[in-house]
Amino acid sequence: MHAFWISISTVAIAEMGDRTQLLSMLLAARFRKPFPIIAGILLATIANHALAAWVGVEFAKFFTPTMLNLVVGISMLAMAGWTLIPDKIDGEETFKGGSAFVATLIAFFIAEMGDKTQIATAALAAGYGDVLTVVAGSTLGMMIANVPAVFLGHTFAERLPMKAIHTVAALLFAGLGIWFIAQALL
């Protein structure tokens, strides 16, 4: 259960102000169909995070437990620094035609590739060795952050203290990093 709660909290906090949360707002403004957008986010996140978690667990097989804890800890510290850099969406901000569900599914899956929440999912799965629990937690964390963004759009983003949220996320990543490194050194 520990991996589940850590995955939820890590991803939900890290997702605040992330490019996929911004994408949620753009899709909601463009299509004005929240339920197909939410379904697309859910399925894209499950697919993307399952792939990330599987890669993380497979990657972990090449390391001793001590070395793995050290690698995961250093990764979490790097994520702490990355979290302090605000995301923005580059490129075209309009979506032409098509269904809200398909556009969201494709856009979210692609936007999550190499994103900090995907990398955090891979690192957590490597650290805990539990794909299903980490994917369930990271997916729920993603939904906690993005469903309100779909319904409330830009109003939601403008009212949140983003700098404080990014600082809390960075501290959470740093705390996890220190914990994993301490496990490696003990």
Q: For residues 60 and 170, which has the higher predicted lDDT (pLDDT)?
A: 60
pLDDT at 93 over 60: no
Domain ranges of the chain: 2-88+97-185
What confidence tens digit (pLDDT) does each residue in 22-54 have? 888 888 877 888 999 999 999 999 999 999 999
Which residue reads 């969406």 in tokens? 89
Q: Mean pLDDT over residues 157-178, rounded?
A: 74
The count of residues in the chain is 186
Instruction: Report the distance separating Cα 98 and Cα 92, nearest Å.
Output: 16
Q: What is the pTM of this model?
A: 0.77
Determine the pLDDT at residue 51. Answer: 96
Residue 102, class by beta-carbon neighbours within 10 Å (0-12 exposed, 13-18 middle, 19+ buried)?
Answer: exposed
State residue 87's pLDDT score: 58
Q: Which of 19, 21, 40 is nearest to 145 (CA)?
A: 21
